[in-house]
Each structure stands twice: as structure tokens, then as C-alpha cells.
Amino acid sequence: MERLIFHIDVNSAFLSWEAVRRLQAGDKQDLRLLPSAIGGDREKRTGVILAKSIPAKAYGVQTGEPIAQALRKCPTLILAKPDFALYEKSSKAFLSICRKYAPVVEQYSIDECFLDMSGTSMLYPDPIAIAHRIKDEIRDTLGFTVNVGIGSNKLLAKMASDFEKPDRVHTLYSEEIEAKMHPLDVGALFTVGASTAEKLRRSYVRTIGDLARTDPIELQNLLGNKQGTHLHQYANGIDDSPVQAEAEDAKGYSISTTLPQDLTDWEAGNRVLLALTDSVASRMRADRAKAYCIAVTVRSNQFKDRSHQRKLSTPTDITDEIYAIVKSLFAELWDGRTPLRLLGVALTEVCREGEEMQLSLFSEDAEKEKARRVDRAVDAIRNRFGYNTIKRGASCDPSERIGRKSRTKQE
């Protein structure tokens, strides 16, 4: 049976999700139709651009550039701050729709997933028609658009979803590789980073087709055995990796984000990890659960994943306690030199209230109970007034924290 894989990618996810929230709250203007972006503090001109609208792109605003630079290009740029809780909620909503149609769904990142539609021809005889149906249901139900790529494996489906955007369905079957994929610049091939692309171009390998026709031995000599073989297979559309669904009986809470710009800074990485930890720990507490195991995952700009985990003698649901371990695991995982594309936090080996199997013989100290009360208060405020009404200081830009400290002293 020939495989049939869909890749679904949310268009300008962070910006789209913020735009939908504002429209639902009564805003008359759609951020997606205005020069707008997700980023840091407009007044302090700090932070970087995480996502941008098409009108902002017309001004030359680029993902990953400093806010100050973007404002010089577009002084009227509308900026919204990141909200990982909103992103996670929106992600779950679109994944829920995808799971209605596919027997196996793999979440690839917060705004991407693969659907294994193999063997569904009796239900859906026309793959393109059902792809449009899924795309349109997400748009009409949730208010944001996606691209759907259709292929005979995960690689081809993902490449197809990156064709013309937004709100499109594209195919890239094996017989279409030569016409649709081979003419593309070699840097457009999935997993080819900027430095690898430049190295290939210096060797006169300028298109994906050039790469496909290059002797694998030459590529191995140029890039190393593993990467040379891998890229030669990808250039020829070869990918046997399965779509892997999370086991139904898996107990845990996780969140990850694909970074719009390669991460090279420790402090920025820790701020992202705190935001992720805060979000996932809050969700776990809402279910009255605690975790015995904490894990951190990183993905390099060469798409190599690494993860470390730590098991605890007693379970925890305290954000500060979890974050301290997350920072330690991050320090073990990353050398600070290899650029990162993705960060993730997972809380596993979960128990609910009354299920703790290994309780400490000693009562919790006062500091831990104080931290737990703080978490409960933060959760209550957010549940009533919205996630962004209160932030943990360490997740803010350093200049913001200094400013608040100065104002406190003056008061």
C-alpha cells in the first residue's frame, strides 16, 4: 500500500493566534492585515521579532531582527507580546480537528503536525478534497489558516506545505519531485541549514536537483558520511520515517516551541524555558497532578535532537522548583555554541492527588509551601483575568526587571 502523508502548518502561527484572540475580544482590525508583529517591548525597543504579518514584511521587517531595527523600517508597526499559554491552547484546538480525520497524528511542533492518511481511500477517495476540507474547517472554526502539504512520505509532505502561502493545499508526490522540488535552491531542502547550503554552493551544488545528481561519495567527503548520505536521500525524495502518534496511555504534560531565530544566548534560552515551564506546570496543576520526572529537549539548527531528564524522589507541581531543574538540565544539554531551533519541557510519571507512592518522611519546608501558595495565587489571577495579567520576573526582558526594581525602591 502506497503511503499518503499530510503535513499541516499554521500560517504565521503566533501572529495569527493573537489576531484571532483580539478579533474575538471585539477588535475591529485584523492584525494580519496591518503592519504588525509578535515581539518585545515597543516603548523600550527591546527584544526581537518572533512573527510578522505580510504587510510588515512589505516594509522589510524580518523575523529574528531586533525590535529597534524593525521600528526604524516601520515606525507604525503594531507589536504584541508573546503568550505561550495562548499558543498552546490554539495548538491543541487545531490538532483536535486533525485527529478527527486521520488514524495517526504526530505533533511535530506547536504549529505543525503530520497526518498518516494511508489506507483511508475508502473514506476519502480524493486526498486533495479532504485536505481542503480539513484546512477549511480549521479556518472556519478557529479563525486562522493553515497550509496542507500532501506527499508519499513525511519529507515530501513537509516540503509541499512550504510552497505558496497562505491557506493553500499543495502536492509533492514521488513523480512530481523532478518538476516541483529539484529546481528549488539547495537551501530550501528540509534540514539544510545556511552554512551547509553555502558549502554546497561553493562546490557548485546550487539546486536540490544538483544535490540529487551529485555522487554520494563526493557529498560524504564534503559533509561527512552521515550528513552527506542523509541529504542525498532527501534530495531524491527518500524518507522512510514513520508518523508516530503519542501512546494513548502516556501520562504527562509537555510543551515545545520552534524558535523563529536560531538561539545562541543563554539568558534568552532560559527566558523561553521559564515561559514554557510556567505554562506546562500551570496546566498540570489545573488537573491536580504532580510529576516525578522532568525533561528538557533541544533541537539544533542541524535538526539533531537531544534530551535529558531527572527523576525526583517526591513529585512536584511547583513552577520554581521545576524551573530550577529545567535550567540545570539545559546547562547539561547545551554548550552555548551550537545554535538551537527548538526548546521543549516535559513533565512525566504523573500522579494525581492521593496517588503519591513515595512521600517524604518529613513535612515540606515553609519555603516550598510558600512557593505553592504563590503558584495557586498566580493561577487564580490568570484564570480570572487572562494569562498575560501577571508574569514571572525572570521571564521578562532584563531592562524591564531593572525598571521595576528601580520604581519599587523609589516608592
The whole-number pLDDT of residue 85 equals 84
pLDDT band, very low/low/confident/very high, at 359 (cuts 50, 70, 90) = very low
When pLDDT is averaged across residues 175-192 and rounded to a whole number, the result is 94
Q: Is the pLDDT of residue 66 over 90?
A: no
314 pLDDT tier (thresholds 50, 70, 90): confident
Mean pLDDT of the chain: 84
- What share of the chain has pLDDT > 90, as a percent? 52
Cα–chain-centroid distance for residue 138? 18
Contacts of residue 179, defined as CB under 8 A and 6 or more positions apart, other chains included, come to none
Query: Which range scores top for mean pLDDT: 23-32, 118-127, 259-268, 356-365?
Result: 23-32
The four Cα atoms 31, 32, 35, 40 give a dihedral, to 10 degrees, of 60
Q: Check if the beta carbon of residue 39 is closer than 8 Å to that of residue 48.
A: yes
| Helix 127-142, helix 84-99: angle, nearest 10 | 140
pLDDT for position 331: 93
Q: Work out the average pLDDT over 374-396.
A: 59
Question: Can you name the CATH fold of 15-84?
Answer: MutS, DNA mismatch repair protein, domain I (3.40.1170)
pLDDT for residue 164 is more than 50: yes
**Would you place residue 249 in the very low, low, confident or very high pLDDT band (cuts 50, 70, 90)?**
very low
| Mean of pLDDT values over 204-217 | 95
pLDDT at 287: 80
**What is d(CA 260, CA 50) in angstroms, rounded to the nearest whole number?**
6
pLDDT tens digits for 272-306? 898 888 888 888 888 888 999 999 999 888 778 88
Q: Among 3.20.20.80, 3.30.70.20, 1.10.150.20, 1.20.1250.20, what is the CATH number of 182-235?
A: 1.10.150.20
Helix (H) or strand (E) holding 284: helix 266-286
Domain range summary for the chain, segments of one domain joined by +: 15-84, 182-235, 252-401
State the pLDDT confidence band at 350, using cuts at 50, 70 and 90: confident
Active site residues: 112
Q: At residue 324, does pLDDT exceed 60?
A: yes
Q: Which CATH class is domain 252-401?
A: alpha beta
What are φ and ψ of residue 393, in 5° steps? -55, -40
- Cell for 57? 514584511
